[in-house]
Every structure is written in structure tokens, then in C-alpha cells.
A and B are shown apart, each in its own frame.
Chain A
Amino acid sequence: MSRRLHIEVFRYNPLDPESKPHMQSFYVNEYDSMTLFIALNIIRDQHDPTLQFDFCCRAGICGSCGMVINGRPGLACHTQTKDLPEHIVLHPLPVFKLIGDLSVDTGVWFRDAGTRIEAWVHNDHDSFDPTQEEARMENALANEIFELDRCVECGCCIAACGTARMRTDFLGAASIARVARFYLDPRDERNVENYYEVIGNDQGVFGCMGLLACEDVCPKHIPLQDQLGIMRRMLALHSVKGILPKALIEKLAHKGCCHENHKS
């Protein structure tokens, strides 16, 4: 059973003028139930204390540990070595700014995207009245919103996306799904026009080529394909407004999608 794993890791320290990007090999004995979290920590503890990587929850919940594992973006803590060949090759996620070795700056990227799409519920927050009971909501709708709130901003979908690799200002599937989350939420008072302004362009839904690498790699199985489709259709219809009759647009906008029931 016990294999000797050959783990090849991308090394580069951008702050060190002497450092050149290169691959470095480490050898680690495999244990039962070993994950890449354990393997990388063994490397850092026993072989090279300067190796940079990011782990936090080590339970697939926080989204810290996205990296390219044998060519495919994924969460390292959520990956067991027994599912990989003996030779494992690790690269940092592309698209994001490299901090060093396997560590990339997803935090700043997502914060910037969040600012651009104004990722908060737009309502009059000061109107909260502590003496009143909460506004009611259907449980099914709450569940649908939560489904999209499960994104951990790991960046895997961005790293796998052809458009994101070509244009640095592309918002990516995660941000478009985030907009869909607010669009779904009756507490957000923005209208189609407002959403059009933030993602009705080539940085948003019209930049997407629809090849769906994003959904394939999402460790949380967020239904990115559906959300991209819904937003694209909704905003495409909006852009032909004035050409098609209003009633028809309204009818088409939510045809067959999960929005059909709660917004017109």
C-alpha cells in the first residue's frame, strides 16, 4: 500500500531578485487518508520551511487552498493523495497575482469584483426596525439563495476560464453567479437596468464563451451554467428593449428558469 509520492512543486519568490520560476521535487511517504494538506505540511515541516501555500479550515469550507493539481484547479485540502498518481505536480492558480510558490492573491481579486458588482443587498438598511418581526420569505426561496451563497471564492472557476485568462477585467462565473444571487433576492431593490450596468458587457455575461470549464471545476458544485444562462438571457432581452414589445420581453425573461415564480 504505502507509496512514496513524488511531489513536484512550482517555486518562485517574486520578492527575491535571485529567484527564478522553477519546479522542485519532494518525496513523501504516503499515509492512510492523506490529503494534500497533510502532504504539503510534511514538506514544510521536514524539508523546506520557506515553502508558501495557503490553508485555513483544511475542511473544504473556507476556499483558501485552490491550486492547480496535475493540471486541474481544485482545493488541495479536499484532495486525497490516493486519488492521484504517484507523481503529483502542483502549480499556483493562474489569473490571480502570485504571492509566492503556491500562494496567490484571491482575496484582493474577489474584493475588487465585489466592489464592481456592488455585491450587497441594496435597500434602505437604516429602515431596519428592531421592534418589528422580520419580513417573511418562502423557505424554498431562502434555499435557492443559499445555494448561490455557498460559493467559497476559491477562484478555481476563474483559473479554469478561457476568457478570464485572456482578459484581466473579466468578472468570471463566480461574480456573475453572485449577481444572480442578488437578482434572486427580493430584499435587493435593484432593477434589470441596474444589473445591466454592472454585467451587461464584455467584462460580464457577454464576455463568456459558454464552454463551462468553470462549472466543471467548482468544488462546491454551484450551478454556474444555469446562472450564466439566466443572466445572459435576462440581459440580452434587456438590450433589445424597444425593439421587442415589453410584454414579450417580460414573458421571455424568466421562461423556464427558477426565477419564473418569484419575479416578473
Chain B
Amino acid sequence: MQIFYTDLLCIGAGLAGERVAVEAAKAGFDATCLSIVPPRRSHSSAAQGGMQAALGNCVMGEGDSPDIHFEDTVKGSDWGCDQEVARIFADTAPIVMREVAHWGVPWNRVEHGPATYYKGGKPFEAAESKEKHGLIHARAFGGTAKWRTCYTADGTGRSVLNTLDSMCLRYNVNIHDRTQAEALIHDGENCIGAIVRCLRTGELMAYFATATLIATGGYGRIYKATTNAVICDGGGQIAALDTGIVPLGNMEAIQFHPTGTVPTDILVTEGCRGDGGTLLDVNEYRFMPDYEPEKAELASRDVVSRRMQEHMAKGHGVKSPYGDHLWLDIRHLGEKHITTKLREVYDICTSFLGVNPISDLIPVRPTQHYSMGGVRTNKDGAAYGLSGLFSAGEAACWDMHGFNRLGGNSLAETVVAGRYVGKKVVEFLKGHSVDFKQSALRDAHAKIEERIKRLSGSSGKESAIVLRDEMQDIMMDYVGIFRNGKDLQTAVDKLEELHARSMNIGLQGKAIGFNPEISLALRIPGMIKLAQCTAFGALQRTESRGAHTREDHPERNDKDWLNRTLAYWKDGDSLPTLKYEDASPYFEIPPGERGYGGGKIIHADIPAEKLHVPESNASDNAASAEDTK
């Protein structure tokens, strides 16, 4: 078996993984990134909208500050986030946008003079200031008090990822693409690398590393309908969970977007509805005003998704070979508007759906979009449970998003956390030398090899494809947008059954070298575990907070549930073990009304000393953010 040695092993080469790698490489350490696909194909490249940072350069962002960004983020999270982390994020974001500009990101810039913008489908005029001409511009996104989303046309993820990848070239980060981490190498206290499968040859390899970072993105593929790429299968979260020591945080916190398209689930932007698009049912009847007389299609993301689901459950969905859906109607906006302001939507519809949105209806349904939960870390990005293990980006539950993340905050998180955690990783590398224990490597390797052998033997009767389909259906049917105790219990039971069956997967075909069937077969048991963590966490959480909506517990219950779920998986168990910790060490902004979404709140008695930033913390954070200010 091939064995590699490196200082920092980044599992994942999306924005988060590459940003951390660059930080370590710049400090003179040997950094290696693993990725299923060439780095520039990572799912970060699909984000079109932009990144939030309170630069306040554009006229609609005037007076913005990290304080306001922080407040928007906390409200967005429905007070589920770690406020210390959200504060670090909001304070660091503007610096990071400038830093990537220095490295080559072609951010759109302020052009002084009058400009025409749109709000609620209506044009208005505003004048950009002369002093700000040429600085980074920003656009509007939901849930924010100011326009603060930095962007490069309709390809922000693409251009920032290109830039970070170019920095990896520049600083000689080793890129090992077409590799998939299968297990962490650890001795119960220290994480010292990973067992990795080569996706060219199918062979197993070992990587010994002083520090290991999980930056594998989201796990949207546990759902059938997701905007996520086909590789967003939670490999990193699974590897962490399988240690039995490292917990996953808030796995039940899943965001759904109202307008994923059918059949390929590609996202069309919220702008369609913002500009006046409507939602229709099988009878081409506009139903949203019946549910939400005031805001109709423009209620918040979670509310609209909930209503769409409800309406389809009543039998008003449009039947299709790909399942039920509804219609998005933008025909009345006219050809000019659609081919200019909504060009990207026009392209998606014509290229992928064979639908011309000028004359036809667009098939849509609420679609899984973002994983708020993930590998639980402290504010330094260090995972709970194992020294030397870090996590950043969508894979992590660093926890600035709590139970709902704002548009534009996740792409920003990847590079902001990447820079911040990267510096902490460098500190760790400077202070540590590690004993690369052969016994730990042998244990981890034996487990994976044994699994591959069992798969290839002819005993297994279950098909990985069937199990995948059943898992995805269960998640769609019982752990979707609307949740209730009965459905969730059904999901937990059915998934437990799948979990048992997943021990018994066999292969249908035989192939020498790399076999894609083995990839799926290796991944499915872990994905079922992630689905179980999601379903079980949702069952236990008897309240509604952010994207987690319980019909049987509609109130946000701060008294009992102002906390974070931690899911552990003990070897041999068929269910996760759940523990809980405080949502935030203190509340710079005390729990209150979000100002949208409505809903009842059961208030908590929070001790006075927790209602402000502790002295020591304030100076601490200032010191660690020293060279960033």
C-alpha cells in the first residue's frame, strides 16, 4: 500500500479546503488536498449569487457594518448559532473579500453615478457615490438589512474557486484529485490522517498527517431532490461519525429552497418570485395567496417551501415521471425582462428542462439545498473529540448558521473560516510533532479492506442502488419541510431497518480496478447513518426553529431547546446517541423576535452574566483577530 506523509491533509478541495491549505502552505508547511473531482469542479463552483461581507461600498449598503451583519446572521439562525463564532465571521468577512481581490478575484465594482435597481419587481433609481468608485460592489439577498453580497456577475463561486486554486498552484499545495477518504486514522486521542481510495485504480492508500481537515461540503444527497452536486454525499461527516468519538452538530437543521427545478433539481433563483413570478398548481391555480394572504410567494424561504409541500400533499401537485411538482409562472414578466434580468433562469430552462419560460410554465418543487449541521468544532475549527482534527466550510458545524443560514453567508463562510481556521491550524502545526502509529493505520485500513472484501464476495443480497433510493424516499416523505412526531418516528424506524440491511450489500457486476459500484456500496451505509442522525435529531427536537418545522410543536421553545444537538455513533449501535450543549456561550443579542416568519416563542430565563460578551473573551478575540484588523 502506498503511504503519503504530509503536515496538513485537507479532505476536500472546495473553497474551504483550499483556503486552509493555502494558509498552511504560505507558512511553509507541506499541505495536501484530496478531492473526488479536480478541485475546480468542487460544488463551490456552482454558487452563483455571492458572498456577504459588510463593506458598505454601494449606495444600498451605505452605513453597513459588521455589527449589522452579525445581527442579521443571528436572527437568520433563529438564535441557534454560536454568537461568538458569528461575531468572528462578521468581523473577518470584509478583510477576506479584499484579500481574495488582491489574489485575483474580479469582483464587480462600484460605478459612480445613477443606477437602476429592482425591488419587488419594480425599478428604482439610486446614485452610487464618486468616492466609492472602483471599490467592491454588492447586491441584495434575502434576510439582510443592507445590500452586502459581493459578487462576480453570475459566477461568484467559479471565480473565487479559480483564484484559490491558482494560489494552491502558486504555493505548491499537493493536489490529489480523484481520491476519496474512507476513514480517519486515529488512536482514540489524536487524528493522524486518513485511509483513502484512489478513484483511478480502486486501490487503498494511506495518508499520515500532523493535522487533518474535513472540508467535504454538504450531504444533500441523502435526499432525492437536492440542488447539491452528485458528489455531496457526506463522506467527511461519515468518517468523523465512524470514529465514535467525534460528534456531528445539528444534523436536523436542513434548508429547503422553494424553486428547485424538475427533473434535475437545478436551482432557479429567488429573483423569479422577487420580480413578480407566481406559483401555480395542477389546475394552473395560484394557491399561495390562500395560505399567505399578505406575502403570498414572497414569504420567507422556509414558509413558501412549507406551503408548497402542503398543497401537493392535498393532491394538487402535477404528476410527472419524476414525481409531483408545481409550476413557477414568469410568463407575464415578458421576453425582455426574462432574457436580460433573469438570463440565467432562461438558460437553465432552455438548456435543461426544454422549457421556454417566456411561453411555458417552469416545473418546480421545494428542494434540499443546504446542510447547516456537520462536524462539530470549537471556534478555532478544532473538532470535538480528537486532537489534530479540524473542519471548515459546509462540512463543519462551526456554527454561525444555527437553524437557518442566510443566502450569501455560506460561500463567505468557506473563505472566512478558511482563513481563520487556517491560522489556528498553523499554530497547531508549529506546536506539534506526531507519532505516526502504524497500529492505528493498520486498524483503519483493515476495516475498509474488510468491507471491500465482503462486498466483492457473493454473499451480500442487498443492492446499494435500491437502498439509496429507499433512503432518499424516506427522507423526502417523512423528514422533509414539514415534520411531525408520527412521520419522524416512521422515518427513524424505517431507516433503522435500512441500516441493518446495509450491512448486507452485494455487488451486481464485477470490474477490475476502479469500479463505480463499489464507490456507492461503500458510501451507502454511512449515508444511511447521516439520515438517521437527521431523522432522530428531528424527532427529539420538539419545537420549531428556523428550517426545522414541527407541526405538532409550532412554537420556538427557548426554555428547553436553546441548544445544539450532538450526534455520536457508538460502534455496533443501530441508532445515534444524542447529547446537547448550549447554543451559544453567551448572547450578545438576547433571544427575541426575528421580525419575519411570525410564530410563538416560549421564553427562557437566561442568567444575566450570559447576556453580554465576557471581558476576557472580548480581548481574546481582538487579540486573535489582531493581524486581520
Q: Which residues of A are in contact with B by a Cβ distance under 8 Å?
A: 13-16, 18-19, 31-33, 35, 37-38, 44-45, 48-52, 54-64, 77-78, 80, 82, 99-100, 105-108, 110-111, 114-115, 118-121, 123, 125, 128, 130-139, 141-143, 145-146, 149-150, 152-153, 185, 187-188
Residues of B within 8 A of A141 (CB): 106
- Known contacts A32-B321, A32-B354; is-contact A125 B229 (Cβ 8 Å): no
Residues of B within 8 A of A146 (CB): 106, 152-153, 155, 159
Interchain residue pairs A-B with the least CB separation, the first 5: A15-B513, A107-B38, A136-B134, A120-B166, A49-B517
Contact with A along B509-526 (1 / 0, CB 8 A): 111111111001000000
Contact with A along B346-376 (1 / 0, CB 8 A): 0010011111000000000000000000000
Measured between C-beta atoms, what is the minimum distance from A61 to chain B in Å? 5
A153 vs B42: C-alpha distance in the bound complex, in angstroms?
Answer: 12
Q: Does B107 contact A (CB under 8 A)?
A: yes
Q: Report the stretch among B97-105, B189-197, B381-389, B441-449 that lies at the interface.
A: B97-105
Residues of A within 8 A of B106 (CB): 137, 141-143, 145-146, 149, 185
Measured between C-beta atoms, what is the minimum distance from B503 to chain A in Å? 19
A187 vs B322: C-alpha distance in the bound complex, in angstroms?
Answer: 48
- Known contacts A143-B108, A149-B158; is-contact A56 B170 (Cβ 8 Å): no
A135 vs B514: C-alpha distance in the bound complex, in angstroms?
Answer: 48
Q: Does B133 contact A (CB under 8 A)?
A: yes
Q: Which of A37, A48, A78, A134 contacts B101 (CB 8 A)?
A: A134
Give the nearest-CB partner of A107 in chain B. Answer: B38
Residues of A within 8 A of B42 (CB): 62
A136 vs B110: C-alpha distance in the bound complex, in angstroms?
Answer: 9
Are A33 and B511 within 8 A (Cβ)?
A: no
Residues of B within 8 A of A185 (CB): 104, 106
- Known contacts A16-B511, A130-B99, A136-B135; is-contact A63 B40 (Cβ 8 Å): yes
Measured between C-beta atoms, what is the minimum distance from B460 to chain A in Å? 13
Measured between C-beta atoms, what is the minimum distance from A85 to chain B in Å? 16
A13 vs B152: C-alpha distance in the bound complex, in angstroms?
Answer: 41
Residues of A within 8 A of B135 (CB): 133-134, 136
Q: Which of A55, A125, A138 contacts B103 (CB 8 A)?
A: A125
Residues of B within 8 A of A31 (CB): 263, 321-322
- Known contacts A13-B512, A63-B41, A119-B169; is-contact A78 B351 (Cβ 8 Å): yes
Q: Which of B109, B153, B263, B509 contacts A38 (CB 8 A)?
A: B263
Are A114 and B37 within 8 A (Cβ)?
A: no
- Known contacts A130-B628, A139-B108; is-contact A59 B348 (Cβ 8 Å): yes
Q: Which residues of B are in contact with A by a Cβ distance under 8 Å?
A: 26, 37-43, 45-46, 95, 97-99, 101-104, 106-111, 133-137, 152-153, 155, 158-159, 162-163, 166-167, 169-170, 175, 177-178, 200-202, 229-231, 263-264, 266, 320-322, 348, 351-355, 465, 507-517, 520, 627-629
Measured between C-beta atoms, what is the minimum distance from B93 to chain A in Å? 12
- Known contacts A142-B106, A185-B104; is-contact A56 B354 (Cβ 8 Å): no
A-B CB contact pairs (8 Å), 8 listed: A49-B520, A50-B511, A56-B41, A107-B38, A107-B39, A136-B135, A139-B109, A149-B162
Q: Which of B40, B102, B167, B202 contacts A120 (CB 8 A)?
A: B167
Residues of B within 8 A of A110 (CB): 38, 40
Are A33 and B352 within 8 A (Cβ)?
A: yes
- Describe A's contact surface by its main secondary structure: loop
- Known contacts A50-B517, A115-B169; is-contact A57 B229 (Cβ 8 Å): yes
Q: How many residue-residue contacts, CB under 8 A, span A and B?
A: 215
Give the nearest-CB partner of B201 in chain A. Answer: A15
Are B99 and A60 within 8 A (Cβ)?
A: no
Q: Which of B108, B230, B627 contacts A130 (CB 8 A)?
A: B627
Residues of B within 8 A of A107 (CB): 37-39, 41, 177-178
Are B99 and A128 within 8 A (Cβ)?
A: yes
- Known contacts A49-B508, A100-B513; is-contact A142 B354 (Cβ 8 Å): no
Are A50 and B516 within 8 A (Cβ)?
A: yes
Q: Which of A45, A52, A63, A125 contacts B102 (CB 8 A)?
A: A125
Residues of B within 8 A of A64 (CB): 37, 41
The residue among A15, A18, A188 with the most chain B CB atoms within 10 A of its own CB is A15
Give the nearest-CB partner of A17 in chain B. Answer: B512
Are A153 and B111 within 8 A (Cβ)?
A: no
A150 vs B159: C-alpha distance in the bound complex, in angstroms?
Answer: 7
A60 vs B349: C-alpha distance in the bound complex, in angstroms?
Answer: 12
A131 vs B627: C-alpha distance in the bound complex, in angstroms?
Answer: 9
Q: Which of B98, B175, B516 contacts A134 (CB 8 A)?
A: B98
A58 vs B135: C-alpha distance in the bound complex, in angstroms?
Answer: 34
Measured between C-beta atoms, what is the minimum distance from B103 to chain A in Å? 6
A133 vs B104: C-alpha distance in the bound complex, in angstroms?
Answer: 15
- Known contacts A13-B513, A56-B43; is-contact A78 B158 (Cβ 8 Å): no
A257 vs B507: C-alpha distance in the bound complex, in angstroms?
Answer: 58
Are B108 and A128 within 8 A (Cβ)?
A: no
Residues of B within 8 A of A135 (CB): 101-102
Measured between C-beta atoms, what is the minimum distance from B412 to chain A in Å? 16
Residues of B within 8 A of A13 (CB): 511-513
Are B263 and A138 within 8 A (Cβ)?
A: no
- Known contacts A15-B513, A139-B111, A142-B108; is-contact A57 B46 (Cβ 8 Å): yes
Are B516 and A49 within 8 A (Cβ)?
A: yes
Measured between C-beta atoms, what is the minimum distance from B407 to chain A in Å? 18
Give the nearest-CB partner of A101 in chain B. Answer: B516
A64 vs B202: C-alpha distance in the bound complex, in angstroms?
Answer: 19
Give the nearest-CB partner of B202 in chain A. Answer: A15
Residues of A within 8 A of B163 (CB): 121
Are B104 and A62 within 8 A (Cβ)?
A: no
Measured between C-beta atoms, what is the minimum distance from A112 to chain B in Å? 11
Give the nearest-CB partner of A79 in chain B. Answer: B351
Are B264 and A58 within 8 A (Cβ)?
A: yes
Residues of B within 8 A of A45 (CB): 465
A260 vs B136: C-alpha distance in the bound complex, in angstroms?
Answer: 24
